[in-house]
Structure 1
Amino acid sequence: MKKYFLLLLLITATLSSFAQQIIPYSHYQYQKLNKSLYNLNTRFHTSLKPVIGDDTTITAQLDSLLLVGTDRTRNSWVSRKLFNEHLVEINKEDFNVYMDFLPDFQIGRDIEHGITTWLNTRGYQIGGNIGKKFSFYSSGFENQSRFNDYLTRYIDSKNVIPGMVNDKFKDETPRRATKDWAYATAVLNYTANKYFTFTLGHDKNFIGDGYRSMVLSDVSAAYPYFKVTTTLGNVKYMAMWAQFQDPLSPVFSYDNGFRKKWGAFHYLDWNVNNRLSLGFFDSIIWQDADVDGKRGFDVSYLNPIIFLRTVEGMNSSPDNALIGFTAKYKLLRNMTVYGQLALDEFTAKEVFKGDGYWANKSAFQLGLKGFNAFKVPSLNYLVEFNTARPFTYTQRSSLLNYGHYVEALAHPMGANFKEFLTIWNYQLGKWAVSAQANYAQYGLNLSGENFGKDINESYFTRTRDNGYKTGDGLKTNFVYLDGRVSYILNPKYNLRFEAGAIFRQEKNSLLKDKTTMVTFGLRSSFRNIYQDF
């Protein structure tokens, strides 16, 4: 134990001499830190991800994961690079840089549909620090893939690779079974002092302590943003401005590309004490230009500390406002309860009428997470419930909805659903095991009526104002099971052999879609790639 404590101190000291590292967000990697982040003796701001800048201890603990299972007795260059170190690693007095090749080679079988699936991804990551104030991170991936049946249908219907970008050959007829796309991220961070951090990026952000987020998640593609983070004692405050794209709206011209929309976000996280944390969130989405192309960026939303809903009301604007609340409470030594509430065009007087008014658009999350389950060291767990009423996150058009690049900025199922999920992972040395189970019930459109699940469909297409309940429409049951076993070759860039199995079923009175799949691969990434929808 003393050896690991000294190692952690060494890592912290090394990091403190530079600007803090940027650790890409991966739920699987971050969940391994439950014991450090959610025990009763700590008071961290855990709901803002990825970790950047002033959370020195969190960054050090995340970085310590990159040393698990390494053998410092290896002497040859090839052995060190393959099993222990970054491919390129330069450490100087005033800067450090690392660089890695990130392969993701998989082969699998979609058994029900008789499809041999494969993924051929060649990627890179490069990161580091310049002096004590600047840090940077970039990753890029060139990909070709043959997906299973349900993902292929999803891609063909939405013209987007889940969470990434459009298929290069989406306009071909007939559609190619093989998908081809490129994907990249970049983040530049400036830590001015212990109070202020400025981040310019083309990446994703996540707010919450759960697997899903009902206020801001990393489901959709990366986007450009500028973020200011302020830390004052037990309070952390974030203001962010971002630009999103809407491929569904008619373009003004070929030269202008996809239509754009803007978003402004504020989030305050208050650690009341070692057990309790409270968070307050608000956001505004507005379209980049109207039919005359005049509006653009609205400077009314530049003030980083003002309540956005008030500005929207003062402007008598047609923009899309959303407010939210987050909380976590360390219930036991190894168990934390957390939750979220999102309100989107919420009408209080209609709630008390209880007649299912369409504009009572709200979403809710409640979960438990912890570590050392059943007294087993390093057995981490999460149990979570999520729900969103019909028409939540929708707007008059997709150019104003709470989405980006056809996908959601919150939950991947959109709205009009209830979901229960649980995720467990365990690591012993270089062996790691993970298991996930999702059950959801949602309502699809039926007989031409919009029941409010698809956030890209205008709420003007509804046929009535009252009588909406969560799950109304074509009642559909969804089951998703995912199990994976991996052997980690190099924890520095998560290089591993991995075998996995997936079972997915979507069932209602009109269809039964079932997928059973096995995969094998050599993988290396820290990305969240969601397929559980």
Structure 2
Amino acid sequence: MKKHLLMALMAFFVLNAKAQNITPYSYYQYQKLNKSLYSLDTRFHTSLKPVIYDDTTLTRQLDSLLVIGTERTRNSWIGRKLFNEHLLEVNKEDYSFYLDFLPDFQIGRDKEHGITTWLNTRGYQLGGSIGKKFSFYSSGFENQSRFNNYLTKYINSIGVIPGMVNDKFGATKNTKDWAYATAVINYTPNKYISFTLGQDKNFIGDGYRSMLLSDVAAPYPFLKVTGTLGNVKYMAMWAQFQDPLSPSFSYDNGFRKKWGAFHYLDWNVNNRLSLGFFDSIIWQDADATGKRGFDPSYLNPVIFLRTVEGMNGSPDNALIGFTGKYKALSNLTIYGQAVADEFTAKEVFAGKGYWANKLAFQLGIKGFDAFKVAGLNYLAEFNTARPFTYSQRSSLLNYGHYAEQLAHPLGANFREFLTIWNYQISKWAFSAQANYANYGLDNGQNVGKDINESYETRAQQYGYKTGDGLKTNFMYLDGRVSYIINPKYNLRLEAGAIFRQEKNSLSNDRTTMVTFGLRSSFRNIYSDF
């Protein structure tokens, strides 16, 4: 039934469609638009990413990034394809199409652990539009890699490549092998509403991290409806997630499944101030008896999900949140988020460290043209989550997908400070990032950091503070220099250096490495955790 419904929806979009090219979300790509996105003269809905195509001005600006440095036209076919154009490109009055080969070849050295790292990725991207209302995008990657020591340990612990899929070889081999793909189709019949069907990621927020919904975990199937009326944009989304940590019913059934429903309203009060309101529900798919599955009570796109969850006897995981953005100066914006996963008001004010006061916060500033240097973008951000935030009775109900977090990659029970600076001049791009965090690791008891652990295994009811457990300090420094060969698919030569340290009373894990590569695509691959 689910497959037939999915096919019917896809057929509807294809047969009724006509739109603009889809640009996938990447922080390092989108931050180049800060001057337009956060100008005092504009009123974009900046917290919903990727961009939905009623923001036609923003779409044109995203497209303009794909022609930077292509002013010089090459005469030869090889020269044009290497420096100026997509590998295959068709532009007609009523449709367009492009196709690219995406290489991602990288070599590096993990100095402390004596490991030569490498990445061998062959990928593709294709996209296009039919008429003015229908657009599509797809990408796929076949990968082999030897990661540095801390990433190898992380992959072996959960069996998942960060942000992608399961490791084919498993912990028995240091070389990792995996493949994954994304696909999105978008139908925008008018300026008020847009439908998106995809296997991809979503992001809500104005920061580098999101405490509500981020692009940290693997791609997932979703149906998203977005409506715009005046200064208000509203999103309703239904998605299916997977849990490789729970025992499967059988090999034929694959990984256990769970569902999610999400609502988000973004209100641009004026050119300076924006407010957003978020709620979500996670519930597990069919149990061993085959009951429940997708719950139609969560289908209504304009109902408060927390109320429905209560009407269902409260079997599910509800989360509510708030976002805010204020353009304080012509080139500086203050933004923030607040999340309540579960809490009891009287316990919050009692100050006794009740375990179920599951709260998370974000506060940051970002801007452009720092120190009057045109194109110098900056961000400084603080994130924190109390113990047990995003966790539930089991990983089949937690706020996660594919053994990773749907929000922040550090899970819960942490405080984090980070700053990112980016600058591009012509085809040269520079970036610098610094993260510092402190958190409490489990040390014989569940202190609420790992969202995949059941909160029912907690040792006590009261006395929890952020950072409790094995007190750990984390530092991450990342610098990159790139020369962009072809901006159409972000083909670039890139050199980078990373320093990472995770230190506590039991260990001091350090990683110092340098990398060099020929890279492409716009995907985010996080390693700063």
Into which bin does the TM-score normalised by the smaller protein fall?
over 0.9
Map of 1:367-516 to 2, 5 A cutoff?
367-446=364-443, 448-516=444-512
* Aligned twin of 1:6: none
* 1:299 equivalent in structure 2: 296
Are positions 1:265 and 2:262 aligned together? yes
What CA distance in whole angstroms lies between the structure 2 residues aligned with 1:482 and 1:175?
30
Instruction: State the one-letter code of the partner of 1:252.
Output: F
Aligned to 1:140: 140
One of 495, 514, 519 as aligned partner of 1:518: 514
Q: Deviations over 1:257-310 (max 9, x none)?
A: 110000000000000000000000000000001231211100000000000000
Q: Secondary structure of the equivalent of 2:247?
A: coil
Per-residue deviation, 1:52:
2.5
Q: CA deviation at 1:94?
A: 1.1
Give the equivalent residue in structure 2 for 1:10.
Answer: none
Find 2:190's aligned residue among 150, 172, 193.
Answer: 193
TM-score by length of 2: 0.96
Q: Which residue of 2 aligns with 1:12?
A: none
Aligned mates of 2:61, 2:40 — CA distance in 1:
17
Q: Counterpart of 1:28?
A: 28
* Contact 1:364–1:386 under 8 Å retained in 2: yes
Matches within 5 A, 1:113-192: 113-170=113-170, 175-192=172-189
- 1:133 & 1:439 partners in 2: Cα distance? 44
- Give the superposition deviation at 1:18: 6.6
Matched, 1:251 2:248: yes
Counterpart in 1 of 2:308? 311
Deviations 1:102-144 (A, max 9, x none): 1000000000000000000000000000111110000000000
Quote the offset at 1:475 in angstroms: 0.4
| Distance in 2 of aligned mates of 1:402 and 1:317 | 16
The residue type paired with residue 199 of structure 2 is H
**Any idea what SS the aligned residue of 1:398 has?**
coil
* Cα shift at 1:497: 0.3
- Indicate the residue corresponding to 1:55 in structure 2: 55
1:72 to partner: Cα distance: 3.5
Aligned partner of residue 181 in structure 2, secondary structure: strand
**1:58-98 C-alpha deviation (Å, 9 max, x unpaired):** 11101101111113432211111100111110011210001
CA–CA distance in structure 1, aligned partners of residues 495 and 441 of structure 2: 33
Write the distance in 2 (CA, Å) between the matches of 1:370 and 1:18.
Answer: 36
Which segments of 5 or more consecutive residues in structure 2 lack a partner in the other structure?
Answer: 1-16
2:218 paired residue among 221, 224, 239: 221
Aligned partner letter, 2:291: K
Matches within 5 A, 1:58-137: 58-137=58-137
- C-alpha distance in 1 between matches for 2:287 and 2:251: 17
1:251 and 1:445 map into 2 onto residues whose CA distance is: 26
Distance in 2, matches of 1:18 and 1:260, equals 33
Number of the residue aligned with 2:526: 530
SS at match of 1:32: helix
Partners of 1:449 and 1:105 in 2: CA distance: 41
Which residue matches 1:4? none
Q: Which residue of 1 aligns with 2:4?
A: none
Amino acid at match of 1:444: L
CA contact (8 A) 2:18 2:187 kept: no
Aligned partner of 2:165: which letter?
V
Amino acid at match of 2:456: F
Distance in 1 separating the partners of 2:415 and 2:327: 25
Q: CA deviation at 1:449?
A: 1.2
Counterpart Cα distance in 1 of 2:137 and 2:70: 23
Q: Distance in 2 between matches of 1:126 and 1:486?
A: 24
CA shift digits 1:425-452 (9 cap, x unpaired):
0001011100000000000012x21100
Asked if the contact 1:389/1:470 (under 8 Å) is kept, the reply is yes
Task: For residue 213 of structure 1, report the CA deviation from its aligned partner.
Answer: 0.2
Contact 1:365 1:386 in 2 (8 A): yes
- More divergent stretch after superposition (50-59 vs 372-381): 50-59
Code of the aligned partner of 1:97: F
* Residue of 212, 237, 241 corresponding to 1:240: 237
Asked if 1 retains the 8 angstrom alpha-carbon contact of 2:73 and 2:84, the reply is no
Which of 202, 207, 223 is residue 204 of structure 2 equivalent to? 207
Contact 1:21/1:52 (8 A) holds in 2: no
Task: Tell me the alpha carbon deviations over residues 398-436 of structure 1, each in whole angstroms, 9 at most, x when there is no partner.
Answer: 000000000000000000000000000000101110000
Give per-residue Cα distances to partners, 1:437-475, cap 9 Å, x unaligned.
Answer: 0000000012x2110000000000001000000000000
Partner residue in 1 for 2:39: 39
Q: 2:275, 2:412 → 1: CA distance? A: 25
Equivalent residue letter for 1:227 = K
SS of residue paired to 2:445: coil
Which stretch of the first structure deviates more once superposed, 130-139 or 174-183?
Answer: 174-183
Same amino acid, percent of matched pairs: 82
3-state DSSP of counterpart to 2:61: helix
Measured in 1, the distance between the counterparts of 2:384 and 2:100 equals 39
Distance in 2 (alpha carbons) for counterparts of 1:511 and 1:501: 23
Distance 1:318 1:458 in 2: 15
Q: Does the Cα contact within 8 Å between 2:395 and 2:451 map onto a contact in 1?
A: yes
Q: CA deviation at 1:346?
A: 1.6
The answer to whether the 8 Å contact 1:23/1:52 transfers is: no
Partners of 1:315 and 1:330 in 2: how far apart? Answer: 41
Q: What is the letter of the counterpart of residue 469 of structure 2?
A: G
Deviations 1:203-226 (A, max 9, x none): 000000000000000000000000
Inter-partner Cα distance in structure 1 for 2:273 and 2:71: 40
* Other structure's SS at 2:309 match: helix
SS of the aligned residue for 1:311 comes to helix
Deviation at 1:20, TM superposition (A): 2.4
